[in-house]
Amino acid sequence: MLRFLKDMIFPITCCNCEEFVESEGLCSECWNKIRWIGDPKCRICGVPFEFGVDLTCPMCSKRKPHFDKAIAVFEYDDFTKKVILKFKYNDTTYISKQLAAWMYRVSKNTVQKKVDFIVPVPIHFFKRLKRKYNQSELLALEFAKLSGISYEPRILLKKKSTPQQEGLSRNVRLKNVQGSFGIDEKYRNLLHKKTILLIDDVLTTGATINECSKILKKHGAEKIICVTAARVNLQYKFSN
- Residues forming contacts to Zn ion in the complex (CB under 5 A) are 14, 16-17, 19, 27, 30, 42, 44-45, 57, 60
Closer CB to Zn ion, residue 42 or residue 118?
42
Distant-in-sequence, close-in-space partners of 166: CB < 8 Å, separation ≥ 6: none
Our CA dihedral for 183, 185, 189, 190, rounded to 10 degrees, sits at: -50
Q: Please report how close the Cβ of residue 39 comes to Zn ion at its closest, in angstroms.
A: 14
Give the integer Cα–Cα distance in Å for 14 and 103.
Answer: 19
Q: Please report how close the Cβ of residue 18 comes to Zn ion at its closest, in angstroms.
A: 8
Closer CB to Zn ion, residue 44 or residue 202?
44
Closer CB to Zn ion, residue 3 or residue 62?
62
Q: Please report how close the Cβ of residue 164 comes to Zn ion at its closest, in angstroms.
A: 25
DSSP state of 41: B
Q: Contact 147/112 with Cβ under 8 angstroms?
A: yes
Give the integer Cα–Cα distance in Å for 41 and 181.
Answer: 29
Closer CB to Zn ion, residue 67 or residue 117?
67
Q: Please report how close the Cβ of residue 22 comes to Zn ion at its closest, in angstroms.
A: 13
Residue closest to 138 by CA, chosen among 216, 202, 86, 199: 199
